[in-house]
Amino acid sequence: MGGKGPRLEVVDSERCVGCQSCMFACARLWGRNGLSETRIGVTSIGGMERGFKVIVCRSCEDPPCARACPTEALLPRKKRGVKFNSSECIGCRQCQDACIIGAVFWNGEKEKPMICKYCGYCADFCPHGVIKFEKPEKEG
Amino acid sequence: MIEDLSNILHIDLSEKQFYQERRENLFKSRLGGTGVATKLLSEECPKGIDPTSPENPIIFSVGPLTGSFPLSSKTVAMFKSPHTGNLGESHCGGRSATSIRLSGHGAVVIKGSSEIPIYLAIHDDKVHFRDASSLWGMDSSYTVGRIIRENEPRSGLRSIMRIGKAGEKGVTYAGVVTETYRHFGRLGLGAVFGSKNLKGLVISGKSSLPVANEKKYRDIYEEIYDKAVSSPAMKKYHDLGTSKNVLPLNEMGALPTKNLNEAKFTEAEEISGEYFADEFLGRRLACSHCPVGCIHIAAFREPYEDEQYFYKTSMVSYDYEPIYALCPMLGGTNKKGFFRLLDKIEALGMDAISTGVSLAWATEAQKKGLITQDETCGLELDWGKYTSYRKAVELIVEQPNNFYKYLAGGVERAATKYGGKEFALSLGGNEMAGYHTGHAYYIGHLIGARHGHLDNAGYSLDQDTLGEGLGPEETVDRLVEEEQWRQVLSSLVVCFFARGIYDQEVVTKALNSVGFELDENDLDRVGRKIYKEKFNYKLREGFSLEEKSVPNRIFNTPSPKGEIGEDYIDEALEYFEKKILGK
């Protein structure tokens, strides 16, 4: 456990203009245009005049979502974060309840969670430096 | 590939019923947005109706690129305008376009009238009719937005449209506010909402959209995105926003000042985009799926007068047009006065351009003795006197006497009653925008389907041909050609700021990638067809250039292209009537 795996970082949410380009990018990556498949969230914090919160999976060292999962559908990765195995998932939503930052997104059609896979594609489409992708360190 | 897009949601406010209708051919032949809305308007709006009657439809429409491409971020609203009595069309961004598309609809048609105030909550394919009695008569549209926001789910995936008191009271240039800072501003959609007892509308969705060719889609997406974040034109909108135009327009002598008695404002530096950014810019915002972020919000702090160390900070969205209409046009530079006036206009839900031009006419009319303090309810309107202007705006909404009732109908109605038509700066029934650039601007305004500056961008043609002789016929030809192409852009629906990115080749590639098999020739044909259908509707509703009234003031104040000749305009209009209207 521990060490540095790939990880998304919210550098400065105050720079966010709320364009949601990252959300569309994530959905595109999963082959579904639109927003049903997005694993990143941008919403205003009580009106746009106050700015935005940017919800990304922090790839926790000891992920509470995995601890809450009763079926081992979510398992911790070696270096932070979790891996999702859909065939084990029973759709109980306990992972969603356990993630208090709201980074376990939900697919209403499949009744399964949607988990960030730490690819960094969304960060390529952030025009204003709000999110950054930290690449993994090389082994050894 | 357009299954979701071709779904039209019909809502009847009288019966509190709704149903969906599939119109694939309609979207195939007219794309979406303006094209589809124009056809729906001609079908749904009975000939000759009063725009405030329940029969007047409100049509929202998005297009095949909405939700799929950057800067395809606008919704088209169509209705019969209570302001001009003819075709009403207004565009708005915010989250409206993506929310409508991702709710699984290409268009929403609202008819009828509710017996009590309501707001509509549309979540995916469900429509809820919510009692809005407790929102009716509220002083501020900001508060209305906040309450709906807290009452409804899906933050970040929804759009919240609402009207202010101006819409309730039937001010014919009342707008609809979305996401606090964007507007269906022009031509009175707010008054149509109000006439239906419709206080607001929230729409949400998060569906997925079809892609015909994933590789082609991602290639063209990335090409558009890269241009959007790197091109100089887009950088201008991101950096300073539209208010960057204040100084260049003033420099060339095209900034209407004091009701266009002048076209240069000596204090322009003080109300420039550069100045506002340095002193007040508090936040920049974007519409959903637009990386540019042209929305500029000023943080304006002011003390309370009755208690020391007690402040409030207002976040006020500023753009070129509100600055033009409320600063040079009203001869004012006082920032506190400007922000408080603009904030009031936003809270009441009015079109800032028409409001400013109406106040400018009223100021001159009072100075010339056409109206007195009997009409103004004791106010002395004078250039730059923002306290009076702020009070006047409240009175336009409250309409305590005949004068304010007329002024609530726009400057042309007021001038017809009280005189001063020669300086009532409205063309085709719609108040002018901030461009005294030359003949093309005014001709464009008169022959444009909406009588607005964005129909055909005459101001742009004027600036592109500075120092060139351009005859009346060529001017009309170029304006019509531009307006026909814009029918394509506003049917996709693409923000006009991105018109430099979305050329014919890019549009074709983008459409192909999401399953629309069209080529560049098809696009031209579609543009011409939509344009023609718009004018068919306009003619059906009595549009005629014979009744045009062009205020003399525009002929008396020199423009960057020299004096604007009345003969030139007459010739252009005659040519337009023959060529386009077939008269």
Whether the predicted pLDDT of B547 surpasses 80: no
Predicted pLDDT at B3? 72
Q: How confident is the model at residue A140 (pLDDT cuts 50, 70, 90)?
A: very low
Q: Does B218 touch chain A (CB under 8 A)?
A: yes
Residues A27, B70: C-beta atoms closer than 8 Å: no
> B291 contacts in A (CB within 8 Å)?
19, 21, 125, 127
Number of residue pairs across A and B with CB atoms under 8 Å? 91
Nearest to B155 among A33, A34, A44 (CB): A44
Amino acid type, B49? I
* Domain architecture of chain A: domains with CATH: 7-130 (3.30.70.20)
Q: Does A78 touch chain B (CB under 8 A)?
A: no
Residues A47, B145: C-beta atoms closer than 8 Å: yes
Predicted pLDDT at B2? 66
Interface test with A, best of B180, B207, B227 (most A CBs within 10 A): B207
> A42 contacts in B (CB within 8 Å)?
156
Question: Stretch B127-138: mean pLDDT, rounded?
Answer: 98
Q: What is the mean pLDDT of chain B?
A: 96
Residues B155, A51: C-beta atoms closer than 8 Å: no
The pTM is what? 0.96
| Nearest C-alpha in B relative to A55 | B156
Question: Stretch A10-20: mean pLDDT, rounded?
Answer: 96
Q: Which residue has the tokens 């995105």?
A: B225
Higher pLDDT, A5 or B361: B361
- Integer CA distances (angstroms), B330 to B52, B166, B257, in order: 31, 21, 7
B295: left (phi over 0), alpha (psi -120 to 50) or beta: beta
Question: Stretch B160-179: mean pLDDT, rounded?
Answer: 98
Name beta bridge partners: B422: none
Helix (H) or strand (E) run with residue B299 in it: strand B295-303
Residues A33, B145: C-beta atoms closer than 8 Å: no
Measured in degrees and rounded to the nearest 5, phi and psi for residue B452 equal -130, 165
Residues A19, B208: C-beta atoms closer than 8 Å: no
CA distance A3 to chain B (A): 34
Interface test with A, best of B105, B217, B283 (most A CBs within 10 A): B283
Structure tokens at B323: 């600055």
Interface test with B, best of A33, A50, A53 (most B CBs within 10 A): A33
Predicted pLDDT at B155? 92
* Domain architecture of chain B: domains with CATH: 7-204 (3.60.9.10), 255-422 (1.10.569.10), 437-499+519-579 (1.10.599.10)
Residues B156, A125: C-beta atoms closer than 8 Å: no
HEC readout, chain A = CCCCCCEEEECCHHHCCCCCHHHHHHHHHCCCEECCCCCCEEEECCCHHHCEEEECCCCCCCCHHHHHCCCCCEEECCCCCEEECHHHCCCCCHHHHHCCCCCCEEECCCCEEECCCCCCHHHHCCCCCCEEEECCCCCC
Interface test with A, best of B208, B223, B239 (most A CBs within 10 A): B208
| Nearest C-alpha in A relative to B208 | A34
> B146 contacts in A (CB within 8 Å)?
47
Q: Does A5 touch chain B (CB under 8 A)?
A: no
Question: Stretch B497-505: mean pLDDT, rounded?
Answer: 95
Residues B67, A27: C-beta atoms closer than 8 Å: no
Q: Does B147 touch chain A (CB under 8 A)?
A: no
Q: Does A24 touch chain B (CB under 8 A)?
A: yes
Listed residue (B273, B245, B272, B249) closest to B262, CA to CA: B249
Predicted pLDDT at B583? 72
Predicted pLDDT at A138? 63
| Nearest C-alpha in B relative to A45 | B155
| Nearest C-alpha in B relative to A23 | B289
Q: Does A98 touch chain B (CB under 8 A)?
A: no
Question: Stretch A72-83: mean pLDDT, rounded?
Answer: 92
Structure tokens at A61: 């060292």
Predicted pLDDT at A139? 52
Give Cβ neighbours of residue B334 (< 8 Å, ≥ 6 apart). B384, B386
Predicted pLDDT at A32? 77
Query: Distance between CA B249 and CA A53 in Å, rounded?
Result: 38
* Percent of the residues in chain B that have a pLDDT greater than 70, as a whole number: 100
Predicted pLDDT at A134? 87
Query: Where do the DSSP E strands lie in B117-213?
Result: 118-123, 126-131, 158-162, 176-178, 182-184, 198-204, 208-209
Question: Stretch B254-280: mean pLDDT, rounded?
Answer: 97
Question: Stretch B380-402: mean pLDDT, rounded?
Answer: 98
Predicted pLDDT at A1? 45
Whether the predicted pLDDT of B346 surpasses 60: yes
Residues A49, B180: C-beta atoms closer than 8 Å: yes
> B211 contacts in A (CB within 8 Å)?
31, 33
Name beta bridge partners: B18: B11
> Is B302 within 8 Å of B312 (Cβ atoms)?
yes
> B209 contacts in A (CB within 8 Å)?
32-34
> B284 contacts in A (CB within 8 Å)?
17
Q: What is the mean pLDDT of chain A?
A: 91
Q: Does B216 touch chain A (CB under 8 A)?
A: no
Name beta bridge partners: B257: B262
Whether the predicted pLDDT of B158 surpasses 90: yes
CA distance B431 to chain A (A): 29
> B229 contacts in A (CB within 8 Å)?
127
Q: Tens digit of pLDDT for each residue in B394-449?
A: 999 999 999 999 999 999 999 999 999 999 999 999 999 999 999 999 999 999 99
Q: Does A107 touch chain B (CB under 8 A)?
A: no
- Strands B158-162 and B176-178, sheet pairing: antiparallel
Nearest to B297 among A33, A46, A49 (CB): A49
Query: Exposure of B503 by Cβ count < 10 A (0-12 exposed, 13-18 middle, 19+ buried)?
Result: exposed
Q: Does A45 touch chain B (CB under 8 A)?
A: no
